[in-house]
Amino acid sequence: MTESARLAPQRRALILDMVRRDGAVRVADLVEQLGVSDMTIRRDLDVLARTGSLSKVHGGAISASVTTGDEPPFETKAGLESRAKSAVAEAASALVKPGSVVAISGGTTSYAVAARLRDVAGLTVVTNSLPVAQLLRPTGAETGPEGPTLLLTGGTPTKSASLVGPLADQAIRSLQVDLLIIGAHGVSERAGATTPNLAEAQTNRALIDCATQVAVVADHTKWGVVGLSRFIALSEIDYFVSDDGLDPEACSVLRESVGQLLLGTTQP
């Protein structure tokens, strides 16, 4: 029996202690702290998730009290899979053309894309994300004359800091945008892109309906994760933007199902 296998129960107990203490854990942090491989940690999380001890999320795990019908706060998710999100954002931002109108949904991956759009000339950004609005909000001398024009929808904020509900939907339906950049809680071949929040799914649908093209941005850890409500099928997606950690089987499915698969590189 290998050392990692022999210590599996102790290792999983430590993981559970961290989840209970901090509310969430990252795979990368567990690899460093416990001195085992990424694959070993993911197997541990699979075992703990099957027993109901925790819930797996993109790049790590959260308390079992958060289920597929719920979603962790923006702050909890912001630190997960930062290198993968950066790779996704770099690839997705290349789709944005100067002078275009772009809608950006809530979510930490969408936020990472928005951070790369502050210098795009003549850009108009429509968003229902409070963090994206704060990021792109004009601040006098900090924003040049060519900085983005920002339109923030109304609505009721979710735990993930997205504005949703009838007010948001009504505002969005009056608009037409060239490109929608939209994140997802999870993506699968059967379910498409999903979210745990029913109201957010409805608002996401309004965003999709007002867009000429749709780019779903999701790092590799979101493949196979299924939330409560689907907001778009794979066949409706013009661009699926992920990172080079996406497994070959997922790549094959996506290449056959979406308009175009784009993979950002996580290499320095």
Q: Return the pLDDT at 22.
A: 66
pLDDT of residue 80: 64
What 3-state class would DSSP assign to 240?
strand
Q: Structure pTM?
A: 0.73
Q: What is the per-residue pLDDT across 149-200, written as a single tens digit (0 to 9) for each?
A: 999 999 999 888 899 999 999 999 999 999 999 999 889 998 999 998 899 9
Rounded CA-CA distance 15/11 in Å is: 6
**Averaged pLDDT of the chain:** 86
For 23-47, write each residue's pLDDT tens digit. Answer: 678 888 899 889 899 899 998 998 8
Comparing CA positions, the residue from 180, 135, 129 lying closest to residue 153 is 129
Contacts of 30 (CB under 8 A, 6+ apart): 15, 18, 41, 44, 60
**What does the pLDDT profile of the chain (268 residues) look like in tens digits?**
344 445 788 898 899 888 777 667 888 889 988 989 989 999 899 888 877 777 777 678 876 654 444 565 555 565 566 788 999 999 999 999 999 999 999 999 999 999 999 999 999 999 999 999 999 987 544 545 567 899 999 999 988 889 999 999 999 999 999 999 999 988 999 899 999 889 999 999 999 999 999 999 999 888 888 788 899 999 999 999 999 999 899 999 999 999 999 999 988 6
Rg, the chain, Cα only:
19
pLDDT score of 3: 45
**Strand 211-217, strand 239-243: pairing:** parallel
The predicted pLDDT at position 223 comes to: 86
pLDDT at 67: 46
